[in-house]
Amino acid sequence: MKKQALKFEVLKVDKHTGARHGVMHLPHGDVETPVFMPVGTQATVKAMTPEELKDMVGSSIILSNTYHLYLRPGHELVKQAGGLHKFMNWDRNILTDSGGFQVFSLGDLRKISEEGVEFSSHIDGSKHFISPEKAIEIQNALGSDIMMCFDECAPYPAEYEYVKKSMEMTTRWAKRCKDAHTNVENQALFGIVQGGMYKDLRQKSAEDLVALDFPGYAVGGLSVGEPIDIMLEVLEHTTPFLPFDKPRYLMGVGTPDYLIEAVLRGIDMCDCVLPTRMARNGSALTHYGKVVVRNSTYSKDFTTLDPDCDCYTCKNYTKAYLRHLIKADEILGARLLTIHNLRFLVKLMEDVRNAIKEDRLLDFKNEFYKKYGYER
Amino acid sequence: MKKQALKFEVLKVDKHTGARHGVMHLPHGDVETPVFMPVGTQATVKAMTPEELKDMVGSSIILSNTYHLYLRPGHELVKQAGGLHKFMNWDRNILTDSGGFQVFSLGDLRKISEEGVEFSSHIDGSKHFISPEKAIEIQNALGSDIMMCFDECAPYPAEYEYVKKSMEMTTRWAKRCKDAHTNVENQALFGIVQGGMYKDLRQKSAEDLVALDFPGYAVGGLSVGEPIDIMLEVLEHTTPFLPFDKPRYLMGVGTPDYLIEAVLRGIDMCDCVLPTRMARNGSALTHYGKVVVRNSTYSKDFTTLDPDCDCYTCKNYTKAYLRHLIKADEILGARLLTIHNLRFLVKLMEDVRNAIKEDRLLDFKNEFYKKYGYER
């Protein structure tokens, strides 16, 4: 058997919950879990340099999007550049999604068949076809450390029969992805559990994927519009069917409460565009709740954004200045809020890890929610 | 006599030209001249942090705009924040313009009288009045190290009589600015020579302002649309009427050739939005001429932007990646090109200073122009 790209160790399980602290040994360094992964859609985490992600945010892994890079600048070009790490000057780990979620989000612009998905580019309308094999080819060319199987993300709400067929196809596609992927010593391929909000389908999906033996598993198709209680119930039902000794990745989740609740249910990895998008819209996540920086309340507020934050922005700038930058549409405003929001979530996961190590995650959660003004 | 905010020393004059190398001792550190000053219109040099301006660009002084800060966030707010340096987290020097140029650029939105200028805000249409005294009050509140007198910048072309009257009023306004400015130990107030393209008016303006004894002098109203030969002729005619031992500032000039030609005619300071604006539009200044990074020529160009540049961007990224970022409208693209363009001009002035020290500025100019593909 070939050497594997990913080695995962669970170092500690919280005594009172299912939360785990572990480490992923990957080709571009170790990643401590639970971890929040910033999203770098187009070969850049919006508004950030790699140095800022390392030194100011503290990221050991980021996510990038197969669909976007396939269309622009093209995976062949990235390969010619020496791979995505070299192209974007990032020497830590990269996880690429499979493009599935973006392609399915195109709605009328795509057509699904057993073979794969035909779609029109959102940039220029040109026609394309992505199959499971193609998704692997693209991700091999990009050279990400963790790749994702091409899956169909069923919408919410959706009929049982539709979700069942979709989930079964996703499993068949996962098998095809696995067969197409040969570079296992440098790139770890994760399976994606689907099944909508139907518990039996989630179980079946998890079991069939586990039978295929992937080095890690994602839970997809959650946080797609359903109420949080349903989401958490389905998640709680799903993770027990995943192997203890493999990392578990909940896709597209990024609010502080979702992160904590996910970890409590045994999740190790999360990603979301929320912190970077919120920043560009002029809002911040803080220990005392969301701050809409552009509000006039802050025009003469010469205090820091979040007194409990250790980031560059909170150490050097006032809310009044940040508000001025946002109101004046200055790039620096988006930059400073992005640094803060990303650092906030990465640091939250550091705090969560420390809490797990000391078996006090539930206390941590209660204190965090109280300060944050969140009731659950 | 009160201690003065600015002490200027000429350290060396090029043997073969009128170019000078000197140093301005200012409240926020020394500034070696000739110097290019990046423009921070709205209390931020667009897309840059203060640390980047110091560590990556090497700036010792930046410019900010009185008109813009007066309207948003307001000079009183900046004063409450502890002044402009503290507000924007910049501990080196700041030069503020007087707002004159911006106000006069408003065209139909402003009305000039002996007392001052009435104008409507470009943001919300609200009515305002700026007099010479008001321009000083605003700049005092901002707390810049170098302030500019409120002047009228005559358009090009303009009739002799109009320019004469305008220049004479600018001189009367300069006297009023000087009388209104009392904080001379912390802020140096420069006079601005006007007179359009008329040499006798330039001489008269310079002589009358010199009689008022300012710690430094700007040459305004050039590079406003006239051919470069006329501009240089007027400049060459003007600088000899300015005192040798005071800094001379040519306003709004920023192409490499204009900077070099200005220094050859005895100019010590320049500023321009060109490098930052070009960057946001996807173009770069390089030792081998202008590079339109968004051109498809560079789509697979995995070489550096400018092999002779020492900046962060040139050390870490390829033209192909920069083009991708610009095409994809990514903030990082604007950032990386801004770092490069600013470093390019600041470094150009460092090279110019070194050439002056060794009496080889003409050789430097010829070599630079040859490489740059510029004929003069």
How many helices and strands in chain A, by DSSP H and E? 15, 16
> Which chain A positions have a beta carbon within 8 Å of B334's beta carbon?
331
Which pLDDT score, from 0 to 100, does residue A61 have? Answer: 98
Contact state of B299 with A77 under an 8 Å Cβ cutoff? yes
Q: What is the pTM of this model?
A: 0.98
CA separation for the pair A193, A281 (Å, rounded)? 32
What are the structure tokens assigned to A56, written together?
Answer: 């100011």
Least Cα separation, residue B58 to chain A (angstroms): 19
What are the residue ranges of helices labelled H in B196-294? 199-212, 228-238, 256-264, 274-280
Q: State the first-to-last Cα distance of chain A, in angstroms, to the nearest integer.
A: 47
Is A225's pLDDT higher than 70?
Answer: yes
Tokens of A242: 């995943």
Cβ separation of B331 and A332 shorter than 8 Å? no
Chain centre distance of CA B46: 15
Angle in degrees, CA A358, A361, A362, rounded to 5 = 130
Q: Is the pLDDT of residue A224 over 80?
A: yes
Q: What is the pLDDT of residue A321?
A: 98
Q: Measured on CA atoms in the order B89, B94, B98, B100, is the torsion positive or negative?
A: negative
Closest Cα in chain B, distance from residue A116 (Å): 27
Maximum separation of any 2 CA atoms in chain A, in Å: 64
Q: Is B324 within 8 Å of chain A by CB?
A: yes
Q: How confident is the model at residue A107 (pLDDT cuts 50, 70, 90)?
A: confident
**Per-residue tokens: B263:** 């220094």
Place of tokens 């980021």: A62
Sequence-ordered list of residues with C-beta below 8 angstroms from that of B168, at least 6 positions apart, any chain? none
CA distance A13 to B358: 69
* CB-based burial label for A173 (10 Å; 0-12, 13-18, 19+): buried
Mean pLDDT of A232-255: 97
CA A97 vs. chain centroid, Å, equals: 9
Please list every residue in chain B whose beta carbon sits closer than 8 Å to the beta carbon of residue A339: none
Q: Residue B103 has what pLDDT?
A: 87
pLDDT reported for residue B259: 98
A167 touches chain B (CB under 8 A): no
Q: In what order do the strands lie in the sheet with A248-250?
A: A35-38, A269-272, A248-250, A217-219, A188-193, A146-148, A93-96, A61-64
A343 to chain B, any CB pair closer than 8 A? The answer is no
CA separation, residue B369 to residues A41, A80, B89, B288, B289 (Å): 41, 34, 37, 9, 9
Instruction: Over range A264-281, report the average pLDDT.
Output: 98
Q: Tell if the CB–CB gap between A318 and B46 is shorter than 8 Å.
A: no
CA A109 to chain CA mean position, Å: 25
Whether A331 contacts chain B with CB within 8 A: yes
Residues B34 and B263 sit within 8 Å (Cβ to Cβ): yes
Q: Do B87 and A43 touch (CB under 8 A)?
A: no
Q: Do A330 and B46 touch (CB under 8 A)?
A: yes
> Least CA distance to A316: which residue of chain B?
B89
Residues in chain A: 376
**What is Dmax (Cα atoms) for chain B?**
64
Q: How many helices (H) and strands (E) does chain B have?
A: 15, 16
Looking at residue A76, its pLDDT comes to 98
Whether B318 contacts chain A with CB within 8 A: yes
Q: Is B303 on the interface with A (CB under 8 A)?
A: no
The Cα B163–Cα B167 span in angstroms is: 6
Q: What is the nearest CA distance from A124 to chain B, expressed in angstroms?
A: 13
Contact B335 A88 (CB under 8 A): no
Please report the pLDDT score of residue B366 as a whole number.
97
Point out which residues pair with B38 in neighbouring strands.
B272
The residues in B 62-81 lying below 8 A from A, measured between CB atoms, are: 72-73, 77, 80-81
What are the pLDDT tens digits along chain B (376 aa)? Answer: 679 999 999 999 999 999 999 999 999 999 999 999 999 999 999 999 999 999 999 999 999 999 999 999 999 999 999 999 999 999 999 999 998 888 888 888 899 999 999 999 999 999 999 999 999 999 999 999 999 999 999 999 999 999 999 999 999 999 999 999 999 999 999 999 999 999 999 999 999 999 999 999 999 999 999 999 999 999 999 999 999 999 999 999 999 999 999 999 999 999 999 999 999 999 999 999 999 999 999 999 999 999 999 999 999 999 999 999 999 999 999 999 999 999 999 999 999 999 999 999 999 999 999 999 987 6
Judge whether residue A1 has pLDDT over 70.
Answer: no
Average confidence score pLDDT of chain A? 97
Q: Which one is catalytic: A145, A151, A208, A271?
A: A271
Contacts of A322 in chain B (CB under 8 A): none
- Quick one: closest CA in B to A84, which residue? B321
CB contact under 8 A, B72 and A299: no
Of residues A72, A321, A334, nearest to B328 (C-beta): A72
Contact B88 A321 (CB under 8 A): yes
Question: Above 90 in pLDDT, residue A118?
Answer: yes
Cα–Cα distances (Å) from B86 to A231, A300, A374, in that order, read 46, 14, 35
State whether residue B332 sits within 8 Å of chain A by CB: yes
In whole angstroms, what separates CA B322 from the centre of its chain? 27
Q: Which residue of B has its CA nearest to A76?
A: B300
Q: How confident is the model at residue A376 (pLDDT cuts 50, 70, 90)?
A: low
Does A301 reach chain B within 8 Å, measured CB to CB?
no
The residue of chain A nearest to residue B84, with distances taken between CA atoms, is: A321
